[in-house]
Amino acid sequence: MVNCIVIDDNSDIVKVVCELLEMIKVKVLATGTDGLQAVELYKKHRPNIIFIDLSMPKFDGFYAISKIREFDPNSKIVAVTADLKADEYVLLNSLKPNTILYKPFNTKTLMQTIFDILPYS
């Protein structure tokens, strides 16, 4: 079974994403609300995949992706966002997430994203 971590400062989004993941048989190991928690939870759980919102207070998703990549260059990271400015897109590309998932998304898109990153899941 595929497992993951979901990081977003909006608890409603976390709840919906977790419900969608449950529908497609993906186990959510943990959730968090900022980039610092993302890094700590990644190190603790070592999930197959991590979904990280980019825009969060304190430590954002850009911070989390950079720190997780330092810790584990082979980590499977999905950057989640509703909108990206040009400078943010350039920064994000330099951090090399596996993919970007744009909000809003549906179950089919979520499932395809996971399959693209973990083709044998």
Do the domain assignments include residue 10?
yes
Rounded to whole angstroms, the Cα distance separating 61 from 58 reads 10
User: Which structural domain range is residue 13 located in?
Assistant: 3-116
Rounded to whole angstroms, the Cα distance separating 31 from 9 reads 10
* pLDDT, tens digit, 9 for 90 and up, residues 68-109: 999 999 999 999 999 999 999 999 999 999 999 999 999 999
Partners of 101 in the beta sheet? 80
* pLDDT, tens digit, 9 for 90 and up, residues 36-78: 999 999 999 999 999 999 999 889 999 999 999 999 999 999 9
Do the domain assignments include residue 9?
yes
Do the domain assignments include residue 121?
no
Query: How many CB atoms are closer than 10 A to CB 73?
Result: 8
Q: What is the pLDDT of residue 47?
A: 98
| 3-class SS of residue 55 | coil
Q: What is the pLDDT of residue 115?
A: 94
Say whether pTM exceeds 0.75: yes
Rounded to whole angstroms, the Cα distance separating 41 from 118 reads 20
- The total domain count for the chain is 1
Q: What is the pLDDT of residue 113?
A: 95
Partners of 100 in the beta sheet? 79
Give the CATH number of the domain where residue 64 resides: 3.40.50.2300
Do the domain assignments include residue 14?
yes
